[in-house]
Amino acid sequence: MPTVYVNDKPVEIGAEKLNCVQVAAKAGVEVPHYCYHPALSVVASCRMCLIEMGELKDGKVTMQPKVFPGCQTPVKDGTVIVTGDYAKRKGETALPYDPAYKPGDRTKKAQADTLEGLLLNHPLDCPVCDKAGECKLQDYSYEFGHGESRLMDAKNRPANKPELSSKITLFTDRCILCTRCVRFTREISGTSELQVVGRGHHEEIDVFPGFPLENKLSGNVVDLCPVGALGSKDFLYTQRVWYLKTTDNVCAGCSTGCSIHTDANKDIVYRLRPRENLENQGHFMCDEGRWGYHYTNAPDRITRPLTRIDGALKPTDWQSLSKLKETFEQAVFVSAKKSVAVLSPFLTVEEAYRLGAAFKSMHREIRLVLGPVPLTGVDDHYPKDVKGNAVAPTKFTIRAEKCPNRTGVESVLKKLQGEVISFADIAKLTLDAIWFAGGYPNPDVVDAAIPDDWAAPKLLIVQDLFHSKLTRAATTVLPATTAFEKDGTFVNHAGYVQSFHRSVKAPLEVRSELQLAFDLAGKKGLATVAAVRKDFAKELPQYASLAEIALNTNGRLTLATV
Amino acid sequence: MAFEPVLLARVAKLNSGKLEGYRADGGYAVFEKVLKDKQPLEVTTQVKDSGLRGRGGAGFPTGLKWTFLPKDHPGPIYLCINADESEPCTYNNRILMEKDPHQVLEGIMLSSYAIRSQCAYYYIRYEYGDAYRSTQAAIDECYAAGLLGKNILGSGFNLDIYMHRGAGAYICGEETGLIESLEGKRAWPRIKPPFPAIEGAFRKPTIVNNVETMACVTQILRRGNDWFKSLGVPPDPKNPRDAGSYGPKLYTIAGHVNEPKCVELPMGITVRDLVEKHGGGVWKGRKAKSVNPGGLSMGFADCNLPLKGEDGKTEYDIPLDFNGPGKIGCLGLGTAAITVIDDQTSMVDVLHNVCQFFSHESCGQCTPCREGTGWMLKITDRLRRGQGRREDLDVLVDVADRIGIMPGTTICGLADGAGWPVKTAIRKFRREFEDAIQSGAKSVHSKSLQLVGAH
């Protein structure tokens, strides 16, 4: 088995083609780096990932007399890598180095020198920089850098470029020219807006005049930026990052269901970031998803129950709605064939299952219907060529289906009633009672699904986030929760299952769909996803592994495919 | 016996750039003969055996480089001619291109035949307008005469030569920077390996050779290896890695001399001979304080510093072969462009000028070079303004020492070239720098020299 030695620790690499950074990570050693990113091409220009390298052959170690960029240097059987952290290694017997050789010293100095260089013209304005607290320049300077600068002269002070993009601003002086953003626009989005202009220490990131950074993946350059140079205007100056609580979540923006981090403070969502998941979307997410979370904090959201009194919707409280279940049951009992329960593709698998089961237990003949599925254009594949056509291989896709869980809800519907009835089919009918479990971030989707000559049923209970044609005709309106406010499971377009944990608490008067389903089914106590999963694991074997998940800790995810 | 110039034999002739004149002096006879009688491999072997080392600066054996090409490659294989002669005070390629372009073109044809290339790119720096026009005219003549194009002289060998003008950047002279620029990209040198011989221009095997190297190839094929090896310096028997410094070499003499010029001499002439005999001596009756033995990036020699173990000799007496400058701490022979600095010139000003050049020309890809060259410029500018501190000298040496491909902190050698003059100047003239700092005297030149270039 080919073996590589990282700080004296043997690592078996098998048949994998790895570079030194990856091998070191396997050995549990972090090699600091800026320009290297696994999804982008290697340029080896930041010179932070420097390592010492040699070869173990016939019981002798021969070290090369210089340092190498770890990101660019491949390893093979017998390669010996020494990083700057050599002194921190634990319990490994030292390899037979030349006695004159001091492992790690050269790298340590080279990395400190690189950081001194990077900080030469850096403004050191951490107190007003959004990146402070999650900045690689801060982290590495603290860990590997010099304490003081030897620069006596004035720093270069290039002008900032807020006009770079409508969504992104560039603090030019903070930039360390790692060119990750440039490579992203060339290799992933393919739109090539960004470039390096100027030479030497007057080099800057810029766009061509009149061609700002406007593409549907542009926000990723902010995440890729290891320092505070590229800032999202949406997040700018809103929160210090150390106040943010990060949870692992799933984006509800389209049927890709990107794995994300949700950053929230005091139950307000401030920022979404992509979470690396090579099984799903990869390293990135689209702008629509990234900046599409504002609905959860929107002031016009329905945050308490409303009921129709004298023809107008009036705020009410849950106590006065205690008869709601009975009213609906009554209507179903009178004419089950003219009663419908709509389950939207924004519900989680757990919610859909529990709600569906509750309605079916009222009467076998009540119809469960898949809510309107929002579709916008066609699937949008990246990278693009200069003419805007997608080129193979595809590295990112924004789906036309703008909901996270159609597949999951359909699997539940198939189980509970054997078929999936689309909303369009029942929108034509005259009905007596509808329970609409919505949760649509965009009410236009609901409005578009309602025909102009639609006759509202006598009993219409609508649970949704925003007012629509439906709520305006409703007898009772119930508030809904967003994907950030609940535990659950989404199944993406390809059948990939992701469970997630609540990021923020729902507004005070909002009762979650799952709790409502428990109440409808007459179950006592607080609703938990764990209980639901145990229930449906028997009936929906493809979700069996979900029953094993303990979601009481943040961000714990176990993944399976339907 | 005085040495008869070979490479420059025709430059003084009337209409030296015309095909007719070149033919009259025996031009293209070798090419025609090689096409008829020799296999490509024979040409490669002959060049390899001649001991020809690249004239561009690094002195890598030319024939050996050619053998790095993949065997039986289906093609295309490219030949790039590096005519981006940007090293300060260097103009030996320019004379060849302006006055005797056919000699270079014949070398390109022979080399292309040897490496089985059907396409050669002639990358010429923007500033060389005359050279561009005369070379382009010569190429046109060759096409008209059937020496270029398809099925040359009925041999079945095809060759096209394309001129490509740069846009005024020193880094385009670095071979992979040149290739990137040729491909239409920003001239950021590539990471090696893979070397261009494996994956170069347009991701195909590529050989990058200097203009003077091409002229040497012509002469080697014309006059034979014995002639070539009769000139220059044989390998140092004590140094097994030395490949020797054979052949004639174009030296340019610039700076504070009476007659700045380009001369052709066998390898191994000493700096003193070159300046005193060929350059007409130091100007205004002054003495030489320092010389650059081969372009700015090679560092400085102290003309008054005695050589160890050699009585009466100083660094002024080092031989200009591929090994000579290295013995006194310089980087190498480089482009063999000698810049003489007289004893009335402040080394602080010289160093500031050097730093200005490299800071302006650093491509900015690797952090150590981008920031290091800029920092060194800021420090030397402060020294020049009389606001230096003693610590600055240590910082300068520290920065100069740590940037470059030798310590492994950059992709290409520009940073080595930027650091070398700084550290050699300060190590050899430290007293002068310290005195300047102590006295706080400002430079007599109130403004920095303005950079002159295409932009």
From the CA of B395, how many Å to the nearest CA of chain A?
Answer: 8
pLDDT value at residue A546:
64
pLDDT value at residue B11:
92
Judge: A200–B374 Cβ closer than 8 Å, yes or no: yes
Q: The dihedral of CA B302, B308, B314, B318: what is its sign? A: negative
Going by C-alpha positions, the residue among B444, B417, B442, B427 that lies closest to residue B393 is B427
Q: pLDDT category, B300, cuts 50, 70, 90?
A: very high
Domains of chain A and CATH, by start: 3-106 (3.10.20), 116-297 (3.30.70.20), 306-561 (3.40.50)
Q: Which of B363, B368, B408 sits opposite A117 (nearest CB)?
A: B368
From the CA of A154, how many Å to the nearest CA of chain B?
Answer: 8
Q: Residue A154 corresponds to which tokens in the numbers above?
A: 């004035």
Judge whether A159 and A165 are in contact, CB under 8 Å: no
In chain B, what residues touch A196 (CB-CB under 8 Å)? Answer: 186, 364
Q: pLDDT category, B261, cuts 50, 70, 90?
A: very high
CA A299/CA B46 separation, integer angstroms: 83
From the CA of B306, how many Å to the nearest CA of chain A?
Answer: 31
CA A42/CA A56 separation, integer angstroms: 26
A132: burial class by Cβ within 10 Å (0-12, 13-18, 19+)?
middle
Q: The dihedral of CA B297, B299, B303, B306: what is its sign? A: negative
Identify the bridge partners of residue B208 per DSSP, sorted by sequence position.
B80
Residue A10 three-state SS: strand
Judge whether A303 and A315 are in contact, CB under 8 Å: no
B25-73 per-position pLDDT tens digit:
999 999 999 999 999 999 999 999 999 999 998 899 999 999 999 998 9
Residues in contact with B309: Cβ distance below 8 Å, sequence separation at least 6, in sequence order: none
Q: Is B60 on the interface with A (CB under 8 A)?
A: no
B307-332 per-position pLDDT tens digit:
988 888 999 999 999 998 999 999 99
- The angle at the Cα of B225, spanning B219 to B229, to the nearest 5 degrees, equals 100
Search chain A and give the residue with CA nearest B356.
A200
In chain B, what residues touch A146 (CB-CB under 8 Å)? Answer: none
For residue B285, what is the DSSP state?
G
B139-167 per-position pLDDT tens digit:
999 999 999 999 999 999 999 999 999 99
pLDDT value at residue B232:
92
Going by C-alpha positions, the residue among B172, B371, B411 that lies closest to residue A150 is B371
pLDDT value at residue A561:
40
Going by C-alpha positions, the residue among A429, A434, A423, A425 that lies closest to residue A332 is A434
A391 backbone φψ class: left, alpha, beta (φ>0; ψ -120 to 50): beta
Q: Which of B373, B391, B407 sits opposite A200 (nearest CB)?
A: B373
Search chain B and give the residue with CA nearest A152.
B379
In chain B, what residues touch A226 (CB-CB under 8 Å)? Answer: none
CA A114/CA B365 separation, integer angstroms: 13
Token pair 């998941």 is found at A277
How many whole angstroms from its chain centre is CA B369?
Answer: 21
Judge whether A496 and A559 are in contact, CB under 8 Å: yes
Going by C-alpha positions, the residue among B435, B295, B449, B301 that lies closest to residue B381 is B449
Token pair 């003008």 is found at B165
Identify the bridge partners of residue A231 per DSSP, sorted by sequence position.
A169
**What pTM was estimated for this model as a whole?**
0.92
CA B178/CA B168 separation, integer angstroms: 12
Search chain A and give the residue with CA nearest B366.
A45
- Where helices occur in B316-366 by DSSP H, the ranges are 347-361
Pairing between β-strand A476-479 and β-strand A459-464 as defined by DSSP bridges: parallel
Give the ipTM. 0.92
Q: Which of A43, A72, A201 sits opposite B371 (nearest CB)?
A: A201
pLDDT cut 70: percent of chain B above it: 99
Domains of chain B and CATH, by start: 19-230 (3.40.50.11540), 245-342 (3.10.20.600), 347-439 (1.20.1440.230)
- Where helices occur in A155-266 by DSSP H, the ranges are 180-187, 220-224
What is the phi/psi pair of residue B327, to 5°? -70, -20
pLDDT value at residue A308:
92
Residue-by-residue pLDDT tens, chain A, 562 positions: 899 999 999 999 988 899 999 999 999 999 999 999 999 999 999 999 999 999 998 889 999 999 999 999 999 999 999 999 999 888 778 889 999 999 999 999 999 999 999 999 999 999 999 999 999 999 999 999 988 889 999 999 999 999 999 999 999 999 999 999 999 999 999 999 999 999 999 999 999 999 999 999 999 999 999 999 999 999 999 999 999 999 999 999 999 999 999 999 999 999 999 999 988 899 999 999 999 999 999 999 999 999 999 989 999 988 888 888 889 998 999 888 899 999 999 999 999 999 999 999 888 889 999 999 999 999 999 999 989 899 999 999 999 999 999 998 998 898 888 889 999 988 888 889 999 998 999 999 999 999 888 888 999 999 999 999 999 999 999 999 999 999 988 988 888 888 888 999 999 889 889 989 988 888 888 888 888 888 777 777 767 666 555 443 333 334 344 4
B226: burial class by Cβ within 10 Å (0-12, 13-18, 19+)?
exposed
> Which of A43-47, A542-546, B104-108, B287-291 comes out lowest in average pLDDT?
A542-546
Judge whether B52 and B247 are in contact, CB under 8 Å: yes
- Where helices occur in B120-174 by DSSP H, the ranges are 129-144
Token pair 């390629």 is found at B93
Residue B383 three-state SS: helix
Going by C-alpha positions, the residue among B339, B174, B333, B362 that lies closest to residue A117 is B362
Judge: A50–B365 Cβ closer than 8 Å, yes or no: no
Q: Where are the beta strands (DSSP E) in A349-413?
A: 367-370, 380-382, 396-398
Per-residue burial over A418-440, b = 16 or more CB atoms within 10 Å of its CB, e = otherwise: eebeebeeebeeebbbbbbbbbb
Residue B119 three-state SS: strand
Judge: B364–A177 Cβ closer than 8 Å, yes or no: yes
Judge whether B43 and B118 are in contact, CB under 8 Å: no
The residue length of chain A stands at 562
Judge whether B172 and B49 are in contact, CB under 8 Å: no
Judge whether A257 and A498 are in contact, CB under 8 Å: yes
Q: Residue A442 corresponds to which tokens in the numbers above?
A: 């965009």
Helix-strand-coil percent breakdown of chain B, rounded to 5? 45, 15, 40
Residues in contact with B191: Cβ distance below 8 Å, sequence separation at least 6, in sequence order: A42, A43, A44, A69, A72, B411
The residue length of chain B stands at 455
B397-434 per-position pLDDT tens digit:
999 999 999 999 999 999 999 999 999 999 999 999 99
Judge: A200–B186 Cβ closer than 8 Å, yes or no: no
Size of interface A-B (CB pairs under 8 A): 105
DSSP per-residue letters across A294-324: GGGG-TTS--S-EEEETTEEEE--SGGGTTH
Q: Residue A111 corresponds to which tokens in the numbers above?
A: 């990395």
How far is it between the farthest Cα atoms of chain A?
93
CA A217/CA A277 separation, integer angstroms: 17
Q: pLDDT category, B453, cuts 50, 70, 90?
A: low
User: Which of B174, B192, B370, B377 to probe by mutation at the A interface, max A CB count within 10 Å?
Assistant: B370
From the CA of B431, how many Å to the nearest CA of chain A?
Answer: 22
Angle between helices A513-520 and A349-362 (to 10 degrees): 20
Cα A240 to Cα A174, A236, A503, B301: the distances in Å are: 18, 10, 18, 56
CA B295/CA B53 separation, integer angstroms: 17
Pairing between β-strand A306-309 and β-strand A3-6 as defined by DSSP bridges: unpaired
Kindly state the average pLDDT of the residues B80-95: 94
Report which residue type is found at A198.
Answer: G
